[in-house]
Structure 1
């Protein structure tokens, strides 16, 4: 058996191990990892096996006794084609791909099943139809963030449909920052953001946020009302609300209780996009009903959003570099994975196998 070095999840424990090197099957490409970013979705997969087991689509698989190599935000280079492929690009071409792999047992999320190893190893697999060549002029760690950027691109595509809405982005990790980038790319004139971290607020303003709120000092919706309505007053009279800006909240925290607080504090008619989402939560549904809150969980990015963002990053329109706060090799990967859980961690820590 040919093996490779990887950080694998097995028996609930992360470690650098020798695991089986994947072999490309029908329609697949074997890719050598150049860079792979640590995402909160990796933590969710590891920490909440009950959610994985409940996934009836079987796009993610709970396999505690097998080596699961996580990592779904990646960039690599072609090593070998499997059968039934068009072989559109030469071996050695730098590529990335949407994190979905067609397998004989169905579609898998790359990095969330033992038969769909991700980018925290020396090699991983992608489906040829989901792959795109990317330029060598863009650093691989920047290219690895295309998937995170596509999340913000997806949510804002839906959110900007209401031209009267002023956005409030709560939580400024990589996904929250991707929302800020996407909103400004789409020409939204006023973007309010909130986070406890001064560093993340400063970065959001560098990326285009107009108002940055320290959530420990001021209620984010107070700042939102001041920006959108010109007053800090919480207007609850529906007649007075006529003609005022509406609110679009992008929840990018993923902690229990955040949605409940948003629903209690937000204006009537707010639309909430939950890009964070705790594993489980309780919300004041009666308050949401009375306010006419529209709450959307996940649902994207769609492939079109992903490929559009891929083009924006590769042509230089969107620069993901400011989100890359640290690069580690195999020696620091397990520690970095745990440190990435903290709200004080950089927006993205990226693994590169060539780093020592």
Structure 2
């Protein structure tokens, strides 16, 4: 089979033996594979992230001196079954799969480990019980977005966003666009998107943002006071003193009134839920500095190197900082069915297709946010040209 390998940051098309599914695995013929931002980063920063993963207990993340087949956003059809499989997924069934692979007692990250070759190839193996039939005749170009959309699904869930909350999405690459799409599907009424790219801001609007901001010209938090968000420490201290002044006029101690207000949530300050979807050094600290007090910041973007924040800024603003990765198996399954039901429609973010010979070209093209947002690989396409969707 033909595949694209990453070695010393170089992408090369090679001929390899078609993999053979082991116990509990199925062989898939790849028909689509999304190029993820994680792939772009891992190509040049794999050693850095691999060192971090060792500290978390996973030793087999990809390294620059290995030959690794990337690709964890996949769609294909079942081509063969390994021993010990149930064969509930008949040959020819269109499927997507959670990107994890068992190797003995170990579990490896499919497409991000030399031990679990990914879908930048004509064929790959997946775990049968992690492989899901694509329902309702869902188109390949949409089904392949299950994995990145599940990332957005999980981020929104971790953000605990309510319909009446203000959601701010900083960075409108594929991850930010996925978050916007999920927020819109959940009925969130105010979605502010920030990105310096006019093209990305236009996509954000198409996918559900209610307003967009160019951060080189303004702040996504400029309307904070309009939403009754506290923007300075003196504001919140003054509000507390004003509340005590009013409660002190009651025939009971102000603390009794405050406690009663606490029980019904009346003392909870209004604040936005902010999704950091950039991943550049300094971005988290910049958001903390600009955000209203009591903001909840959900970090979705992956900063591959070191970074610095000022804890005193977060402390004085009482910022809630959350980090997310991936999704749960149930979130992945539910995302697939939401796509198939039309509950979410991220198709606007797909801007191009490319064959295996054009993967390196696609990586370069994704460096220009005005040209492409999401490119998917179709191993059956010839040539190195990126075909516009």
TM-score by length of 1: 0.92
Matched residue, 2:257 = none
Any gaps of 5 or more consecutive residues in structure 1? none
Aligned residue among 329, 338, 341 for 1:312: 338
C-alpha contact 2:74 2:96 (8 A) present in aligned 1: yes
The question of 1:9 aligning with 2:6 is answered yes
Q: Any conservation in 1 of the 2:354–2:381 contact (CA below 8 Å)? A: yes
Match of 1:55 among 50, 53, 56: 53
Residues 286 and 127 (structure 1), Cα distance of their counterparts in 2 relative to 1, 3 Å cut: same
In the alignment, is the contact (CA less than 8 A) between 1:27 and 1:128 conserved in 2? yes
- 123-132 vs 296-305, which deviates more? 296-305
1:259 counterpart (284, 287, 302): 284
Q: For the residues of structure 1 that align with 2:31 and 2:273, how far apart are their CA atoms? A: 37
For residue 296 of structure 1, what is the aligned residue in structure 2? 322
Shift of 1:50: 2.1
Q: Distance in 2 between matches of 1:234 and 1:291?
A: 9
Once the two structures are TM-superposed, the CA of residue 11 in structure 1 deviates from its matched residue by: 3.5
Describe the SS at the equivalent of 1:220: coil
**Shift in Å, 1:135:** 4.1
CA–CA distance in 2 between the matches of 1:21 and 1:171? 39
Distance 1:250 1:104, change over 3 A: same
Q: Retained in 2: the 8 A contact 1:166–1:245? A: no
SS at structure 2 position matched to 1:86: coil
Residue matched to 2:22: 25
Tell me which residue corresponds to 1:328: 354
**Deviation larger for 135-144 or 79-88:** 135-144
Q: Is the 8 A contact 2:50 2:63 kept in 1?
A: no
1:75 — aligned with what? 75
The equivalent position to 2:301 in structure 1, one of 269, 276, 281, is 276
Between 1:328-337 and 1:71-80, the stretch displaced more is 328-337
Q: How many pairs were matched up?
A: 350
Contact kept in structure 1, 2:152 and 2:182, CA below 8 Å: yes
- Please list the CA deviations of residues 270-301 of structure 1 after superposition, one character each: whole Å capped at 9, or x if unmatched: 11111003122111111112211111112331
- Conservation of the 8 A alpha-carbon contact between 1:37 and 1:141: no
CA–CA separation in structure 2 for the residues paired with 1:228 and 1:195: 21
**DSSP-derived class of the 2:53 partner:** coil
Partner of 1:228: 227
For 2:142 and 2:318, how far apart are their aligned partners in 1?
40
Q: Which aligned pairs between 1:156-195 and structure 2 lie closer than 5 A? A: 156-161=156-161, 165-195=165-195
The structure that has the greater radius of gyration is 2
Aligned CA RMSD, in angstroms, stands at: 2.0
Distance 2:340 2:62 in 1: 34
Seen in structure 2, the aligned counterparts of structure 1 residues 251 and 330 have a Cα distance that, compared at 3 Å, is same
**CA deviations over 1:200-236 (Å, ceiling 9, x no partner):** 112211222111111111122114x155239xx8343
Relative to 1, partners in 2 of residues 1:257 and 1:146: Cα closer, same or farther, differing over 3 Å?
Answer: same
Query: For the structure 1 residues 113 and 335, does the alpha-carbon distance in structure 2 shift closer, same or farther, using more than 3 Å as the test?
Result: same
Q: Distance in 2 between matches of 1:190 and 1:59?
A: 42
Q: What is residue 251 of structure 2 aligned with on the other side?
A: none
Which runs of 5 or more structure 2 residues have no equivalent in the other structure?
Answer: 241-266, 383-389
1:34 to 24, 27, 31: 31
1:24·1:30 contact (CA, 8 Å) conserved in 2?
yes
Equivalent-residue separation in structure 2 for 1:75 and 1:321 (angstroms): 15
